[in-house]
Amino acid sequence: MSAEPVIFVVDDDEAVGRALKSAGKLLGRPIRAFTSAAGFLAAYADEPGCLVLDVRMPGVTGLELQRKLADDGLTIPIVMISGHADVRIAVEAMTLGAVTLLEKPFRLDELLTHVRKALEKDAAARAARQSASDASARLAALTAKEREVLDLIATGKTNREMAEDLGLSVRAVEDRRARLMKKVNAGSVAELVKLLTEGVP
């Protein structure tokens, strides 16, 4: 799997695929072009990047491919392109999460603008998923008793109030609190609450 974002292109018109390589060169990103949805599905493995996708193709259409990706939980941002767009197609594409729908022929600068947005959207989504995964892993390291204290901290309770709720001494609560802060590498209550927010699905 490549870590470098790729601009994937699926269009049965090979000339369009070749023309779109200009976009990749201008953005400094690699392009991988496919002439069918089936070819793309056989090769794609949830890699970073975005997809420039033609609506009308023989076999699996662009909208069908978009639905298949959504059903499989693959959230690669999609810039739809079409020479036969209408309101119904536009609405369906946008409802399924397309970044935009461009009508052929489109200007290269217009495509570049939307491809940049799609790449930024993918990078942000992947970063958010990584943060959530890291937060979950850090929270999973806590014991049940430390997690009790964490949940009470999140409600804004003081050490004394937590001690009363848990039937512990204030010192015992302070010890648990210090241990859990160290385990999750949090320097403040604000960091702790942020971690808790990120780590809860």
Between the CA atoms of 89, 95, 124 and 113, what dihedral angle is there, to the nearest 10 degrees? 30
User: Which residue intervals of the chain bear CATH 3.40.50.2300?
Assistant: 6-131
Q: Reply yes or no on domain 6-131 having CATH 3.40.50.2300.
A: yes
Residue 121 pLDDT level (bands cut at 50, 70, 90): very high
Residue 194 pLDDT level (bands cut at 50, 70, 90): confident
Can you tell me the mean pLDDT for 142-168? 94
Contact by Cβ (8 Å): 81, 53 = yes
Residue 200 pLDDT: 64
Rg of the chain taking only CA atoms, in angstroms: 24
User: Which residue intervals of the chain bear CATH 1.10.10.10?
Assistant: 142-199
The fold of 142-199 is: Arc Repressor Mutant, subunit A (1.10.10)
Q: Give the mean pLDDT of the chain.
A: 90
Contact by Cβ (8 Å): 22, 45 = no
Residue 1 pLDDT: 46
Residue 193 pLDDT level (bands cut at 50, 70, 90): confident
Contact by Cβ (8 Å): 169, 163 = yes
**66-82 pLDDT tens trace:** 999 999 999 999 999 99
pTM of the entire predicted model: 0.80
Can you tell me the mean pLDDT for 51-73? 94
